[in-house]
Amino acid sequence: MTVTVQSLISLPVSVFLNSKIKGSNIYRAIYFAPAVLSTLVVGYLWKYLMSSSDYGFINQVLTGMGFEKVNFLGNAQIALFAIITISVWQWFGWSMVIYLGSLQSISEELYEAASVDGANGLQKFWHITIPGLAPAIKINFVTSTISGLKIFDLILATTNGGPAHQTETILSLMFSKFSDGNYGYASAFGMVFLLVSMLVAAVMLGVFKKWEDRLG
């Protein structure tokens, strides 16, 4: 979900910011800024913002508007979605920058030729922009998937795997095994995780290569 939502947000934002609009560089810096922060810092920041205590900023706003408090990180039904939201907020700017770099390498002549042939905006996006962004899409999906598989510090800073293990991840589980003294089990767990990550990356690269070949 994180990878999909992150791309669904960053791709249109990058296309919009690639156009000649006033203050585009400022918007780029603002959107990219969270990616510069430590994930632990981001986790503790959002833990404060989403807190169900009296000092939780988001709940202060909700109660001020007449709504009830929401236990974002303590409710088993929504805690994982809260983690996904935080992760997307931090990293969609990173994906946006990668897309922007590829967008600027697409020749304007292609769009001009498409306009002469009567293509509309959606047709230009589908037949020119998407093929031109194929390498960037591959990079974003593969790196984001690997980052999602190895997420740990955000979990540690916000829920520590709770409530009732609903936000437990592969590495947070491995860490708990180390903490319990099961060093052999945790080490084997880490090696299997490495092999699985390599396998996932290889499969994704193969799929994207076939897609790029069809586009080419």
Structure confidence by residue, pLDDT tens digits, 46-77: 999 999 887 899 999 999 999 999 999 999 99
- Quick one: pLDDT at residue 216? 67
State what percent of residues in the chain have pLDDT above 70: 100
Q: What is the mean pLDDT of the chain?
A: 92
How many independent structural domains does the chain possess?
Answer: 1
- Give the separation between CA 177 and CA 196, rounded to whole angstroms: 19
Task: Please say if the pLDDT value at position 21 is more than 90.
Answer: no
15 versus 20: the higher-pLDDT residue is 15
List the domain range (segments joined by +) for residue 201. 1-213
120-123 contacts at long range (C-beta below 8 A, 24 or more positions apart): none
Q: Which of 53, 42, 89, 75 is nearest to 164 (CA)?
A: 75
State what percent of residues in the chain have pLDDT above 90: 70
CATH code: domain of residue 67: 1.10.3720.10
